[in-house]
Amino acid sequence: MNFNFKPIKSTLVLCFGYLFLMVIVSCVEEPNPYIFGECPDPVKATFEDLEVNFTPFIDDRFAVESDTVTFSDFSVVFNFKPEETTTSKLLNSFPGKAYALSCALVYNFSNISNISITLTEAFGNLQNGSDITFLFEDYAGKKLSELKDFKEIPAYLGFNFTGEIENYSKLKFRTHVFLKDGTQIVVNSSSPTLKTS
């Protein structure tokens, strides 16, 4: 019986070659300040489109207009649709190089100049057409109206509505994303029914 060792030798050579390559790449010249791994740089992108969603997440989907939700669970979630002008290092890193699992992909949008929200229907003591951008705050307490630098923006960005609401009311609004070329993207939205208790 004649046994051919050539395939086994080829496999071992490839395995040891890859192992050697991994050891060389993992050599540390200086201590890494990111003990859990570092995050990749933001991806340069142009803004293409916007999707407006609402929390809470119900049955594996965002809340929709026909739902009734508790106001304390409600927020508006912007889903920015980018077109990448540079590729993400997170997606094409060298084999053996890892980024922290907690890293969310963030974008530097080069073509957004401003975002505003206006009512399309009167809400409480606010008239139809009122600019309510200042009534939306992110989880860190920063108002949407203060967002002027569109760098390091995640694909999903959530905002709480801080205005007064009446029990079982709906928030109907229009989101305007103004682009630097003078155009804008407009999205009309209607929230789920909001209950205060």
Q: Identify the pLDDT of residue 54.
A: 96
Write the CATH number for 127: 2.60.40
Give whichever of 4-8, 13-17, 19-23 has the largest mean pLDDT: 13-17
The answer to whether position 139 is within a domain reads yes
What share of the chain has pLDDT > 70, as a percent?
83
pLDDT exceeds cutoff 90 at 59: no
| DSSP letter for each residue of the chain | -----HHHHHHHHHHHHHHHHHHHHH--SS--S-TT-PPPPPEEEEEEEEEEEEEEEETTEEE-TT-EEEGGG-EEEEEEEEEESS--TTTSPPTT----TTPPPEEEESSEEEEEEEESS-BTTBPTT-B-GGGEE-TTS-BGGG----SSEESEEEEEE-S---TTB--EEEEEEEETTS-EEEEEEEPPEEE--
Q: Given this model, what pLDDT does residue 117 score?
A: 97
Tens digit of each residue's pLDDT (9 = 90 or more) over 79-99? 999 988 876 554 555 555 555
pLDDT at 99 (0 to 100): 53
Specify if 33 maps to a domain: no
pLDDT at 45 over 70: yes
* Local confidence band at 4 (pLDDT 50, 70, 90 cut-offs): confident
Residue 23 lies inside a defined structural domain of this protein: no
In a domain, 113, yes or no: yes
pLDDT in the model for residue 175 = 97
Give residue 97's pLDDT: 53
Higher pLDDT, 31 or 105: 105
pLDDT reading at 5 higher than 80: no
Q: Is residue 15 part of a domain?
A: no
Look at 197 and 92; give whichever has higher pLDDT: 197
Is residue 28 a part of any domain in this protein?
Answer: no
Q: Which residues span the domain enclosing 83?
A: 39-195
- Domains in the chain: how many in total? 1
pLDDT tens-digit readout, 129-181: 999 999 999 999 999 999 999 999 998 999 999 999 999 999 999 999 999 99
Chain mean pLDDT for the chain: 85
Decide if 184 is inside a domain. yes
Report yes or no on 27 lying in a domain: no
Q: What is the pLDDT of residue 6?
A: 78
